[in-house]
Structure 1
Amino acid sequence: MTQQGVSDGPYAEIKTLRGELLTLEATDMNHAIQLICNRPGIKMRPWELRPAEDLSAMMAESEKRRLAVG
């Protein structure tokens, strides 16, 4: 039997963080959940899924600035 609980925020409690990061490429959050459920050890500790921000516009602007200077 596993314990279930309610947390008071969107983040895992600090005592459960292990400094691990896993990047998944998924079409949406449901697809990401399907992918993470197939990982070994998924039931051993809590996982937190967050969408990554699209940084392509920021990277393109940065590239323009670097080319303008050089």
Structure 2
Amino acid sequence: MKLRKGYDSENLETANAQTRYQVSRDDLPLACPTPEMYLWNSHPKVYLPIEDTGEAKCPYCGAQFFLKEDP
């Protein structure tokens, strides 16, 4: 049986466990919660504009995202 996202056996991060996240251009478009987080105990998915300034803050949980520059 195929599991859906959010089951314990997927080794996902607890949603909103951190307040600062570094993301790369490969992670765009950026959304909070990220695909690596459990969804059942989080807020609705929101897309965050980060491309122009290199920073974005989630209006729901306050998590701050920073775009790391490619080498």
Between 1 and 2, higher relative CO (CA 8 Å, sep ≥ 6) is seen in 2
Class of the TM-score when normalised by the shorter of the 2 chains = under 0.3
Richer in strand (by share)? 2
- Point out the structure with the larger helix share: 1
Q: TM-score, normalised by structure 1?
A: 0.25
- Taking structure 2 as the reference length, the TM-score comes to 0.25
